[in-house]
Amino acid sequence: MSSDKKVRPIKITKAQLSLFAKELQEAGGFDELMIIKKAIEKNEGKIYTFTYKDIDKYKETYLIGMYEKLRPQFNTKVPYAFWSQLYIALKGCKTFSK
């Protein structure tokens, strides 16, 4: 069974990646940043992803400033899926590689 929906990579600017890298560093890692952004929760050693019915409210809260232009590309009820795309892009960017 095939799906008509195709996963489209989001378009991210260098400035957005720089901000994301800075937030990762300040948070201490990806999971820690995802907790801050209310995308996951850790409880008793397990990780739970959040699902939001009102994604517009989430976007208005967490896709602000430099990230605001990414709102139209945020097409999921699971914020972790969105932020993971930024993390993958960051890891693939030679500018930010260690």
Residue 34 lies in a domain: yes
Q: Is residue 1 part of a domain?
A: no
List the domain range (segments joined by +) for residue 58. 30-93
Entry pTM: 0.82
- Domain presence at residue 57: yes
- 3-state SS track over the chain: CCCCCCCCCCCCCHHHHHHHHHHHHHHCCHHHHHHHCCCEEEECCEEEECCCCCHHHHHHHHCCHHHHHHHHHCCCCCHHHHHHHHHHHHHHCHHHCC
Tens of pLDDT, residue by residue over 11-62, are: 899 999 999 999 999 999 999 999 999 999 999 989 999 999 999 999 999 9
Residue 9 maps to a domain: no
Count of domains for the chain: 1
> Is 15 part of any domain?
no
